[in-house]
Amino acid sequence: MLERFFHLQANGTTVRTEVLAGFTTFLTMAYIVFVNPAILADAGMDRGAVFTATCLAAVIGTMIMGLLANYPIAQAPGMGMNAFFTYTIVIGMGHTWQVALGCVFISGILFVALSLFKVREWVINAVPRSLKMSIAAGIGFFIGFIALKNAGFVVAHPATLVGIGDLTRPEPILAALGFAIMVALHAWRVPGSILIAILAVTVLSGLFGLVQWQGIVSTPPSLAPTFMQMDLAGALEPALISVIFTLLFLDLFDTAGTLIGTGHAAGLLDEKGRLPRIGKALFADSTATVAGSVLGTSNTTSYIESLSGIEQGGRTGLTAVVVGLLFLLALFFAPLAGTIPAFATASALFFVACLMARGLVDIDWKDVTEFAPALVAAITMPLTFSIATGIGLAFIAYAGIKLISGRAREAGIAIYLIAGAFVLKFAFL
């Protein structure tokens, strides 16, 4: 049955290989069940409900990806988008988390529509590679700044805006230790390096009396505090149009980049470098985002950590199905998630930031009209504490620089439309 459904022999794999690949992928991305609730809790959401929503959104997206698209790619609420949800929409702009969930829901519906039509290719191809890479890096810097704040390395300062915290406290010391463990394990190619380091820091924190042990296994927390709590009316306010667009933009390009990257590693791309069945893969991602917003979490996206399972030989949707089943099992580990201290997840955030910053390497550093607007995105995101602002300023800079440099055709009509929309947003909204 598995052979007929997943075409294992045609893809040069076996059931055993797919199962081992699924376990490997899950271990490398299981940290999200601890980190995502911690981030969304800063927005005022119930941590237990977000934990359940995170696991279920991962199950839904990953299962659809495996069963519909037959790809070994796992999904879960995305890093960067959860930070945008909490620190830009809720804390930065002052909206409720219910309104933020409404924005996620609407962006998901729009993503579903784009996934059903050819518009998605036009949008993806319209944005230059330099901006795509710099946006990923900028989100990494933004997450890194949040990590340093949560760990106590960075504190507010009346004269310089930010300053160094008290590094003699145990929190920054343990966070630094966790980060070092993650980097070392990752260098040794140990599956689950982030998860292992988070748990190690948590155990040490318990030994020093810094956390209160809440147990390991229990029935899943109730979804009631977040289920169907989207404020759609509030999300449709004119001031939030750019927010919805930004969520859609982040989800679309994060997913497209991950699908192409993992597809290349798995040898799934065709002779033109395109991923077959990409429409089904994008549909899985967009559907999971809609479902996740209903359950109570930020945008769900494809995870680049799926590469770890692909490296173990995963080539079909059976790998994804195994990951989905493991996320279903993770529902019963809510007490452990509640025990994880903020400085333990901070080290994970900073490590993810390092991985995302690698996108700067792919920018064309020989062309000033490419790398200058790219750096606008990377620098302004953390310094304005807003992913949306950084993206908007980068598009405006790119369009303006290309126009003034006499190279207007290199930008394309889509860039000028997007830049114009952000100009209106900054001017009037």
SS3 per residue for 138-156: HHHHHHHHHHHHHHCCEEE
CA distances from 386 to 15, 138, 203, 373, 415 (A): 45, 10, 34, 17, 20
- 419: Cβ contacts below 8 Å, ≥ 6 apart: 395, 396, 398, 399, 400
At 274 the pLDDT is: 67
Enumerate the β-bridge partners of residue 75.
Answer: 302
pTM: 0.82
Place of tokens 């759609």: 232
Query: Rounded to the nearest 5 degrees, what angle is found at the Cα of 301, between the Cα atoms of 297 and 305?
Result: 115
289 neighbors 249 (Cβ within 8 angstroms): no
Query: Rounded to the nearest 5 degrees, what angle is found at the Cα of 40, between the Cα atoms of 245 and 151?
Result: 115
At 371 the pLDDT is: 94
At 429 the pLDDT is: 62
At 121 the pLDDT is: 63
Candidates 13, 24, 59; CA nearest to 321 is 59
Element (H, E) at 135: helix 129-151
- 159: Cβ contacts below 8 Å, ≥ 6 apart: none
At 308 the pLDDT is: 80
What CA–CA distance (Å, rounded) separates 267 from 47? Answer: 39
At 272 the pLDDT is: 62
At 12 the pLDDT is: 85
User: Could you list the pLDDT tens digit for every one of the 429 residues in the chain?
Assistant: 888 888 888 888 899 999 988 988 898 888 999 999 999 999 999 999 999 999 999 999 999 999 998 999 999 998 888 999 999 899 999 999 999 999 999 999 998 888 777 676 666 667 788 887 888 788 889 888 988 988 999 998 888 889 999 999 999 999 999 999 999 998 998 888 888 998 899 999 988 888 888 788 889 999 999 999 999 999 999 888 888 988 888 787 777 767 776 777 677 777 665 677 778 888 888 899 999 999 999 999 988 888 888 877 888 989 999 999 999 999 998 888 788 888 888 888 898 888 888 878 888 899 999 999 999 989 998 898 877 788 889 999 999 999 999 999 998 888 898 899 889 878 876
Candidates 105, 122, 51; CA nearest to 327 is 51
**Ramachandran angles phi, psi of 76, nearest 5°:** -170, 165
Where are the domains positioned within the chain? 2-216+226-428
Element (H, E) at 76: strand 75-77
Residue 276 identity? P
At 407 the pLDDT is: 94
CA distances from 310 to 30, 197, 270, 301, 411 (A): 16, 23, 17, 17, 35
Place of tokens 């490398």: 28
At 262 the pLDDT is: 74
At 275 the pLDDT is: 73
At 118 the pLDDT is: 66
